[in-house]
Amino acid sequence: MAGQATNNEKTNKRDKLTRDLYVLPNFGGATFKGYFDSYLSMLLTDIYMIPLVLSGILEMIKTIVEFAFSPIFGAFLDRVTLRKGKYWQWIIIGSIGAAVSYMILFALPALTSAPEKLGFFVFVLSIILAVFLAMVNVTVVSLYPRLAPDPKIRTHLSVAQKIGRDGGKTLWGYVAPALLILLTAKTGSEAGGWATTGLILGTFGVICYLAFASVLRGTSMEQDAIAAKSAVTSQRKPKIPLKTVVKGLFTNRALLVMFLFMALYKTFYFFQVMSATYFFKYVAKDFASLGIFMLAFNLSAVVGVICGLFWVKIFKDSKKAFVAGGVVQIIILLIATLTFNNLTTGMFIAVISCASFFGGIVETYIMPMFAAAADYGAWKTGERTDGLSMSLFSVSVRVGMTLSTFVRTALLATAGYNAAAYVNGVGPSQDVISTLINLQTILPLALAVVCFGLVAVLYPLNDKKLARIKEEIEAGRVGENADMSILN
């Protein structure tokens, strides 16, 4: 009995440590996002010298594969437990695979005199990269509802996740441009600078993932999953058919609303982030300010997510606090759109960073609202499908990235963007300049109005309803026995 108590105490400590370190994989992922994802578009057009439309297609293929594979892997994760655990192995495999793929992609132009001929290899590598990214991202977000069953813990864990992700992007958004400039000078070529920067940041990112996986291995989540696998094997208890699970997913109104919101929200987020390199190079004509922009933009979001803990106390409900934060963000984007021509580069950075601050407040509640939707689905169907349900969080981000890439590429191509001509000293046309400005102002404004309106009108849950639903789940009143009057 004493030995069992000791083991339980060790497991509880390991569980707490895992919650405390949930920031680590998000910080590692931020390293990938802050450099590799943010600079991928310019890598393809300005370093590989791949034509704009083809580079856009390559980016979209990567994101399409990732969001297509994410729910497949989520369903797999719900139903399969390996002999030594359920989650930690996939974090190791996915993070190492993604880091190596990224580093190869960013190193290739330095190894050849004709990188523009590597389009097919980039295509294949993008697909491999997408599979590994889906694997690690879905595993990390699937842990969230199980790490934090209590709503208050979920909110704090969401803050930690956001701090890790945006804190990392803040750091690397400032450091990456400086590293590129330094290492380009050291290596004697732009391609060499991009490759060396990728090697350094990719290695750091994967170390963060590996450290978290080593802690996760001894948690109750892993032990319970192994025990459940043994129990199912011995009892041969039939599982709910996958078709039924998927049907429950597509009738989960809360989850579908959050999916649509996140896809649109990330579309305009990626407009601003992924076009920033072009904006500061060709519109502001001050590439050094890109580092300041990325620092201010991401740091403002980090401060905002911390303030989100206090913002909700004003409105007494997560959904109300979420919508209110969105309304303020819309107002600031409107100001940026109407006053852009009168703004200096510094003023523009300040205004967009203010919008990012309220975006951070909003993001305090996004993952808890996704997790609440997963609880809602478990209550309606009687089956927990955290892997599949939370995979839609990752999928929505990739859908947003795909839409953003498609629209950005189409708009710039229509405007006549030509990186090869700009190398020879020809400046971009006014149409290109106007497009880059719109990607930072009016397009984010329009999408913000739509996506926050969706949640305000259609998201069916609030804090009181969620508390009732969790009580029903704990009492076993789920599926056909669920009391749907709770939603009235």
The two three-digit tokens of residue 414, written as one number? 């229509």
Does 403 have pLDDT greater than 60? yes
Q: Taking the CB of residue 28, how many other CB atoms lie within 10 A of it?
A: 28
- The arithmetic mean of pLDDT across residues 35-55, rounded, is 84
Top pLDDT among 175 and 447 is at 447
3-state SS assignment for residue 85 = strand
Picking from 70-79, 166-175, 219-228, 442-451, which range would have the lowest pLDDT averaged per residue?
166-175
**455-479: per-residue pLDDT in tens?**
999 999 998 998 888 888 888 888 7
Q: Length of the chain in residues, anyone?
A: 488
**341-394: per-residue pLDDT in tens?**
999 999 999 999 999 999 999 999 998 898 888 888 888 877 777 777 778 887
Residues 6+ apart with CB under 8 A from 418: 52, 426
How much is the mean pLDDT over the chain? 86
Does 236 have pLDDT greater than 70? no
Band (pLDDT 50/70/90 cuts) for residue 249 is: low
What's the confidence (pLDDT) of residue 376? 86
Does 117 have pLDDT greater than 60? yes
First to last CA, the chain: 48
DSSP state of 290: H
Torsion of Cα atoms, 60 then 65 then 66 then 72, to 10°: 150
Does 420 have pLDDT greater than 50? yes
- Secondary structure in 3-state letters for 292-358: HHHHHHHHHHHHHHHHHHHHHHHHCCHHHHHHHHHHHHHHHHHHHHHHHHHCCHHHHHHHHHHHHHH
- Report d(CA 47, CA 194) in Å as an integer: 9
Of residues 337, 321, 39, the one with CA closest to residue 177: 39
pTM of the model: 0.73
**282 within 8 A of 421, measured Cβ to Cβ:** no
Band (pLDDT 50/70/90 cuts) for residue 322 is: very high
Q: Tell me, what amino acid is at 467? A: A
- Report d(CA 417, CA 403) in Å as an integer: 19
- Report d(CA 197, CA 177) in Å as an integer: 9
**390 within 8 A of 145, measured Cβ to Cβ:** yes
For the chain, domains (ranges, CATH) are: 9-479 (1.20.1250.20)
